[in-house]
Structure 1
Amino acid sequence: MMNVPFLNLAAQYAALKDELLPAVERALASGHYILGPNVAALENEIAALTGARFGVGVNSGSDALTLALRALEIGPGDEVITTPFTYIAPAESIHQMGARIVFADIDPRTFNLDPQDVARRITPRTRAIIAVHLFGQAAPLEPLMELCRAHRLHLIEDCAQAIGAEYHGKPVGSWGIMGCFSFYPTKNLGADGDGGMIVTQDEALNRRLRMLRVHGIEKRYYHDLHGYNSRLDELQAAILRVKLRHLADWNARRAAIAACYDAGLRDLPLQLPFTLEGNRHVYHVYAVLSDQRDALHQHLAEHGVPCIIYYPRPLHLQKVYADCGWKEGDYPVAENISHRILPLPMYPELTDAQVDYVITTIRQFFRPA
């Protein structure tokens, strides 16, 4: 039996050790540990990658969303629409602003926001839409942008899982008023700790975000805004700059692994990932749908392939939102997907032999010898 870790960050470190350690040593020797030259350089590099004018490094992807809403002065009485099928960060950031979370259901093929359901949720109080590019594929940006233009709304892109992805040839992060990125270690571009970034084309928002991340300061000890302590530190920026040089190759490897999974599993009773025409998918997650999800999950674990389920319970059914009045049946597509979804191991360091083993193990479940 082969053991195939669901994630293997140690393998990434081993491959990059000779590049990472000198970069860390240079950052330590500089004596400049907060908002130093590595942070400034990384901001420019991520902005260039996404086609944005400005990048603003912050403490995490969650903080990126919170500061984006704060920069738009969204607060009590406002509504923000997002998806119930993702990590909690977008909903959490809306709640932290005192605004009302409004969920819209998802497309059953891509698991991203369904623009038609979004349209039904817009009210005079709606101020923004947070579109999550789930699992590495862009949300339907053109229809969402049309809704935003028609109703004078802001589109915020949650790009935490999709750095390097494109929608109709244009990078994610460059469509909305702001794009928010996470550098959590498991992401396609991951730090060795927390980190995040906001990109924007808007000079005024860039200035405001830079103040918000440092206690509302533009001039030291003069506080013009109610801000936060949310700075990307110099060590993480140094590490990310090394890793950024490998991102294109890593995303290409993810796509190659996805193609192997597609070829090896397509004749089984599974729903495989669907990529919309014109999208460049970067496969942060490769997830299948199965009516026998729990049994398949157990079978894989018993054969050395442990998997983590994203997401076993949609956000509207989480205990933290029990007082919001949502109930089962409110978002039927998200609920159905949560009962059937099973992500498979997906990271660039997976070997061909490991990928073949995962495929073989799944095939044995459905077609035992």
Structure 2
Amino acid sequence: MPTDRATVPRSHAPLRWPVEPAQGGWYTDAEAEAARVVMAESSDWRVGWKSAEYVAAFEEAFTAFTGARFAIAFNSGGTALEMLLHYLQLQPGDEVIVCAVNFVGPLIAVIGQGGRLVLAEPEPVTLNLDPADAERVITSRTRAILVTHWNGAVADIRPFLELADRHPNPVHGPPVVIVDAARACGGRTPVGAHVGAEGWATMFSFESKKLMTTYGQGGLITTNDQALAEQLHWLRTYGGTEHWGTNQMMTKAQAAVGLVQLSRLDEMNDARIQQAHRRNRSLADIDELTLPPTRHDRRHLYYRHSLLVPDAWAGEGRDELMDILAARHGLGSIISDRPPYLFHRLIRDHTAGQHCPLAESLTSRLLCPCLHPRMNPSDEAEITQVIRQATAHLARTRPTLRPRRG
């Protein structure tokens, strides 16, 4: 059975390499200069910190980068997704399909906006939402299909658009396809487009650990739907004079730094991909580990470096491997992401009676050792060596967990 843990035990401290990086990208003198300029000009009481001009420039740059018609920036990815769902005005019984392998945020957003959360299985290679299982659970009450580019492995959105067209809601028409790209900013789809141009709307997060960050928080939605874009503008700024809304604006400093981060995003992602590919090559001959897939038809960003241990090591064996890595070698790792109904009470209560056995099985084999593009070569070499040593030790000392050979 899956455990309730998400990382190594807290007693393993200090770690030489943390369970995950505290910042996904990195800053340069250009970000510091952008912040300095904003600070200097905003110190004038006539100017202050009103953010509209900088936010508009950031949004315009994002539309140019992704190819979407509209971009609407928010103070976080979580609030952006909540307002996107708020636009749908979900009624009791309206369903939103979400992959069971997921961060809690999208699931909580669906519940908070009044939707009925419907969980579906992942496909076993990328752990993205499986279109076939989404079709199994879709009904006439389905209002939306939420597709997460899990851990940077870009999903193919086209099957979900086709699925929505085949199963229209009798009142609202085809369910909308919402894309969660919190961990895939800068990715490319199988049709060669940047993530953000497909589906009804795409949510991005610029929280500290993400691939680019705007001072630790920030979010954005891209869409080609003009009515949605106009309403989102009202929703984030108290609704103007006619609508309901709240204050969810991105700050001036966030937008200024975001412009620089966006200009460097491909550079930072390229470094991350190269680091992940080096790790893949170093671990390729370890029979006990299944490495994250290398996708040649799209851009896998390796937000986390996801490893799977054999079925025979699921749960207990995986946990022991994480303990060995931490206690003996100082290498932290995280289980990203177990089905939230296994550990989150609200989600468990909301989805009572729903179980996703494949999601539970896959994530009981999952661990993600720390990876960051700024790790120096000696650190990366040592990390791959300790993963090799810990895996070999477990295979020797726990023969009942040894994987079966074909």
> TM-score scaled by structure 2?
0.84
Residue from 188, 198, 204 that aligns with 1:175: 198
Q: Deviation digits for residues 228-282 of structure 1, max 9, x if unmatched?
A: 2211111111122222222111111111111111111112111111244512111
Residue from 150, 165, 168 that aligns with 2:187: 165
Residue of structure 2 in register with 1:123 after alignment = 139
Report the Cα distance in structure 2 between the residues aligned to 1:10 and 1:203, rounded to whole angstroms.
Answer: 34
SS at match of 1:20: helix
Matched, 1:284 2:303: yes
SS at match of 2:111: helix
Q: Which structure 2 residues correspond to residues 135-146 of structure 1 after superposition, within 5 A?
A: 135-146=151-162
Q: Which structure 2 residues correspond to residues 93-108 of structure 1 after superposition, within 5 A?
A: 93-108=109-124
Report the Cα distance in structure 2 between the residues aligned to 1:111 and 1:239, rounded to whole angstroms.
Answer: 32
Residue of structure 1 in register with 2:10 after alignment = none
Write the letter of the residue equivalent to 1:319: R
Residue of structure 2 in register with 1:201 after alignment = 224
Residue of structure 2 in register with 1:29 after alignment = 40
Matched, 1:62 2:82: no
Query: Following superposition, which runs of at least 4 residues in structure 1 exceed 4 angstroms of deviation?
Result: 6-13
Q: Which structure 2 residues correspond to residues 234-245 of structure 1 after superposition, within 5 A?
A: 234-245=252-263
Distance 1:153 1:106, change over 3 A: same
Residue of structure 2 in register with 1:274 after alignment = 293
SS at match of 2:364: helix
Report the Cα distance in structure 2 between the residues aligned to 1:353 and 1:335, rounded to whole angstroms.
Answer: 35
Q: Shift of the alpha carbon at 1:11? A: 10
Report the Cα distance in structure 2 between the residues aligned to 1:30 and 1:41, rounded to whole angstroms.
Answer: 17
SS at match of 1:170: coil
Gaps of 5+ in 2: 1-14, 43-47, 168-173, 397-406
Q: Which structure 2 residues correspond to residues 1-369 of structure 1 after superposition, within 5 A?
A: 3-9=16-22, 16=28, 18-31=29-42, 32-151=48-167, 152-168=174-190, 169-217=192-240, 222=241, 224-268=242-286, 269-290=288-309, 291=313, 292-302=317-327, 303-311=329-337, 313-317=338-342, 318-324=344-350, 326=352, 330-367=355-392
SS at match of 2:72: strand
Distance 1:245 1:359, change over 3 A: same
SS at match of 2:179: strand
Write the letter of the residue equivalent to 2:379: Q
Distance 1:261 1:11, change over 3 A: closer
- Asked if the contact 2:153/2:301 (under 8 Å) is kept, the reply is yes
Residue of structure 1 in register with 2:3 after alignment = none
Distance 1:282 1:322, change over 3 A: closer
Report the Cα distance in structure 2 between the residues aligned to 1:161 and 1:325, rounded to whole angstroms.
Answer: 25
- Asked if the contact 1:69/1:97 (under 8 Å) is kept, the reply is yes
- Asked if the contact 1:84/1:105 (under 8 Å) is kept, the reply is yes
Count residues in correspondence.
360
In angstroms, what is the RMSD of aligned CA positions? 2.1
Q: Shift of the alpha carbon at 1:175? A: 0.8
Report the Cα distance in structure 2 between the residues aligned to 1:34 and 1:336, rounded to whole angstroms.
Answer: 49
Report the Cα distance in structure 1 between the residues aligned to 2:379 and 2:322, rounded to whole angstroms.
Answer: 17
Q: Shift of the alpha carbon at 1:22? A: 2.1
Q: Deviation digits for residues 34-55 of structure 1, max 9, x if unmatched?
A: 4332211111111221111111
Percent identity (aligned): 34
Write the letter of the residue equivalent to 1:161: R
Larger Rg: 2
> TM-score scaled by structure 1?
0.92
